[in-house]
Amino acid sequence: MNSSTAYRAAYSCDNMLDATVNNNAYMLSNDSDIIARIEQLQKPIAERVGRTLEQHIARLMELSKHGESLDKVEASIRAEELVGKVLGYYVNKTELTGRGGGPIEHKVVREIIDPVSGDDSY
C-alpha cells in the first residue's frame, strides 16, 4: 500500500483532511526508523522472489530502452511510468463528490429492529 493508505490503516483519521493525512504520511515515510522497518519487511520478499528493488528498476529501464529502439514509444513510456510508481513519484488520489460536484451529503440513521418480530417502534 502507499504511505497515505498505510497511515490511514495505522491511525484514526476520521476527522482529518486528505491533505493532512498525505502530509503526515509523507513526513513519516521519511523517518529513518520507518525506512529501516520497510526495508526489513521487504528484504525477505525480495530474497524469495530473487530480485531486489534495484534489479526491478533496472529491468524496467531496459524495457524502456528496448521499446524506444523498436520505436514503440507507448511501451517505453509505460515502462518509465512503472519506474516512477515503484519509486513513489505517482500517488493515486481519488476525489469523491456528490451530485453536481458538490459535497457528499450524508446522514446518520440509527434503527433498532427487534430481530424476532421485526418491530421497529422502539
Q: What's the pLDDT tens digit per position in 48-106?
A: 777 777 888 888 888 888 888 888 888 888 888 888 887 777 776 666 777 777 777 76
For residue 14, what are the domain limits? 3-90
Instruction: Indicate if the pLDDT at residue 11 is higher than 60.
Output: yes
Domain count, the chain: 1
Cα angle: 94, vertex 92, 29; to 5 degrees: 120
Residue 98 lies in a domain: no
Residue 96 lies in a domain: no
Residue 27 lies in a domain: yes
Residue 29 lies in a domain: yes
Q: Burial, 23: exposed, middle or buried (Cβ in 10 Å; 0-12, 13-18, 19+)? A: middle
Residue 112 lies in a domain: no
* pTM for the predicted model, two decimal places: 0.40
Residue 117 lies in a domain: no
Residue 50 lies in a domain: yes
- According to DSSP, residue 41 is labeled H
Residue 17 lies in a domain: yes
